[in-house]
Amino acid sequence: MVQASTFRPHAIALAFTALACVGAAQAATLRWAGANDIMTLDPHAQNHQTTHTFLQQVYEPLVRYGKDFQIEPALATKWTQITPTQWRFELRRGVKFHDGAPFTADDVVFSLTRIMTPPSNMMTSTQSIQEVKKIDDFTVDLILKGPSPILLREISESRIMNKAWAEKNNAVKSQNYAAKEDVFSNRNTNGTGAYITVSWQPDVKLTLKKNPDWWDKPTGNVDEVVFTPLKSAAARTAALISGQVDFMIDPPPQDQERIKKTPELKLLEGTENRTIFLGLDLFRDELPGAGTPGKNPLKDARVRKALYMAIDSDGLHKRTMRGMSIPAGTMVAPMVHGWTKELEARAAPYDPEAAKKLLTEAGYPSGFSLKLECPNDRYVNDAAICQAVTAMWTRAGVKTTLQTMPMSQFSPRIQTAEPSAYLYGWGVATFDALYTLNSLIHSKGAAGAGSNNGGRIADKALDAKIDAAKVEPDQAKRDALLNDALSITKNEFYTLPLHHQVYPWAMRKGIDTVYRADARPIPAWTTVK
């Protein structure tokens, strides 16, 4: 258990001082830098990659991904599908939480129910579940809403808390992050995982230490993880090159050649399962600040197509991303089930003049005004991408202004659907397109549907296809539903995909680890020499 400080100094110098205190001589310490911090210590409050990356070291699910991204046992040792809608899980015995409490079925029932209950932001990981039943102290049944072909992949994101600890500390419900709620569970942890949270100073430092009583055995030698968020790309690169940090998963494209040429460093290259896209407000009847009284131009598919045709995706790839991206025509990356070569083709060519004509046809010959909101510390070159898009849209006749902000401020605005237009990235925890479709495209509804639908897309026919894919047991029919849903999203320009993120990891040559397409390094699999 840990109580995290709420002290928030912002000077980089303080962060480096913290790093220096770790001591370079400690070979089993992994000094890690990244563009953005975790958002909370509550494992069910935010569906946010950096938060997942570290909290999955502390809290564990029933099943997990192995090194080959196949499902393997974690807190459950065995599972049996009794009927198409009833799965029985036998739980691992002898597991203890970090405070010494034994792990039992009560913790599973409590945790999954907590995830299924608002204001949890992780309901997508339990979307197939109707009810959780305790059979005995080490057996639980999951009763499903219908057959689910990806149940095991979904619950790999459902992290287990200690029921008694949560009840004792008034943390029965998830933190309401969007409402800026401050509760015990967002400042303290008590999991079963390989690492224990020592301290967290938001925007300064997160420290984890090895759990000596972990039920599993690590394959690496990392006894301590010290993570320092450094928003500035130049600062992260400088910290790595100077030896102040050992590792980062988000080296800026402009610095990668320099890193490659530094004798003490190396890049571990790979493609992330994350798609970077633009979202648009499709809900409000009048778009704020657009200068179009009583109208929201973005509700017109012609306008959305015009905005898409104004984007030079090849230019973004070559210049902004320095070739370190895969231009995208669809909302899922190539390694995600549901992707096809046909879907990946652009929905319409880059043609600024044709875009202007479409705007005129839609009734906006003089264009309109639009504010684009973007994070500046989350995705590779996120602010630079938005600057480029702002210029492209303005040249096409849409007078675009840009507002950037840290992810900690940006994320709640997406969940409350505030922006008129925004840049977002989505990784696919299940490696199945349903995860994207249900979270980003489905209209807001129960069980996490539309949880990150920041544009408030609402298409009943599209919802029906997504809902059908959730329970369709026939693989060919299910694939057709996913394809139809992705095609509708693409052809209606409900979102504007830009690229799939290429995400090499940069590190000292003495670091050995396993690259993961979900951009979540595992310290227990890492060796520091």
Question: pLDDT above 70 covers what percent of the chain?
Answer: 95
Asked if residue 119 has a cis previous peptide bond (ω within 30° of 0), the answer is yes
The tens digit of pLDDT for each residue in 397-429 reads 999 999 999 999 999 999 899 999 999 999 999
Separation between Cα atoms, residue 463 and residue 452, nearest integer Å: 15
Comparing 23 with 233, which gets the higher pLDDT?
A: 233
Is residue 333 a contact partner of residue 273, using CB atoms and an 8 Å limit? yes
For the entire predicted model, the pTM comes to 0.86
Q: Which residue, 154, 142, 136, is CA-closest to 81? A: 142
The tens digit of pLDDT for each residue in 101-131 reads 999 999 999 999 999 999 999 999 999 999 9
pLDDT at 24 over 70: no
Beta strands 129-136 and 139-144, pairing class: antiparallel
Q: What is the mean pLDDT of residues 334-359?
A: 98
Is residue 426 a contact partner of residue 413, using CB atoms and an 8 Å limit? no
Give me the pLDDT at residue 297, please: 98
What secondary structure letter does DSSP report for 384?
H
The tens digit of pLDDT for each residue in 139-150 reads 999 999 999 999
Separation between Cα atoms, residue 519 and residue 36, nearest integer Å: 14
- CB count in 10 Å sphere of residue 362: 17
Is residue 87 a contact partner of residue 80, using CB atoms and an 8 Å limit? yes
Is residue 403 a contact partner of residue 264, using CB atoms and an 8 Å limit? no
Separation between Cα atoms, residue 25 and residue 148, nearest integer Å: 50
What are the phi and psi torsion angles at 159 (to 5°)? -90, 140
Quickly state the pLDDT bin for 447 (edges 50, 70, 90): confident
pLDDT at 394 over 60: yes
Q: Which residue, 202, 40, 38, is CA-closest to 120? A: 40
The tens digit of pLDDT for each residue in 194-232 reads 999 999 999 999 999 999 999 999 999 999 999 999 999
Is residue 123 a contact partner of residue 451, using CB atoms and an 8 Å limit? yes
Give me the pLDDT at residue 173, please: 98
Separation between Cα atoms, residue 185 and residue 183, nearest integer Å: 6
Separation between Cα atoms, residue 38 and residue 187, nearest integer Å: 12
Separation between Cα atoms, residue 513 and residue 526, nearest integer Å: 4
| Torsion (CA) 360, 364, 365, 370 in degrees, nearest 10 | -120
Using alpha carbons only, give the angle 29, 34, 39 rounded to the nearest 5 degrees: 100
Q: What one-letter code names the amino acid at 42?
A: D
pLDDT at 55 over 90: yes
261 contacts: CB under 8 Å, gap ≥ 6: none
pLDDT at 20 over 70: no
Largest CA distance in the chain: 69
Per-position DSSP letters for 191-252, written without gaps between them: --SSEEEEEEETTTEEEEEE-TT-SS--SS---EEEEEE---HHHHHHHHHTTS-SEES---
Q: What is the mean pLDDT of residues 308-335?
A: 96
Q: Which residue, 209, 208, 250, is CA-closest to 229? A: 250
Give me the pLDDT at residue 13, please: 36
CA distances from 392 to 275, 345, 358, 478 (A): 20, 20, 15, 38
Using alpha carbons only, give the angle 168, 172, 177 rounded to the nearest 5 degrees: 120
CA distances from 115 to 48, 112, 132 (A): 15, 5, 11
Give me the pLDDT at residue 389, please: 98
Average pLDDT across the chain, whole number? 93
Enumerate the H helices of 362-506 as residue ranges: 382-395, 407-415, 433-436, 460-471, 475-491
Give me the pLDDT at residue 1, please: 45
User: Could you give all domains of the chain from N- to C-terminal order, each with its CATH number?
Assistant: 12-267+505-528 (3.40.190.10), 272-502 (3.10.105.10)
Quickly state the pLDDT bin for 4 (edges 50, 70, 90): very low
pLDDT at 97 over 50: yes
Which residues is 229 bridged to in the sheet?
34
Is residue 468 a contact partner of residue 480, using CB atoms and an 8 Å limit? no
Q: What is the mean pLDDT of residues 347-357?
A: 98
Give me the pLDDT at residue 26, please: 52
Burial class of 86 by CB neighbour count within 10 A (0 to 12, 13 to 18, 19+): middle
pLDDT at 2 over 80: no
Which residues is 266 bridged to in the sheet?
507
Q: How far is CA 440 from the centre of its chain?
A: 12
pLDDT at 22 over 60: no
pLDDT at 27 over 70: no
Is residue 271 a contact partner of residue 335, using CB atoms and an 8 Å limit? yes
CA distances from 269 to 65, 97, 272, 301, 377 (A): 20, 35, 10, 38, 21
The three-state secondary structure class of 475 is: helix
pLDDT at 518 over 80: yes
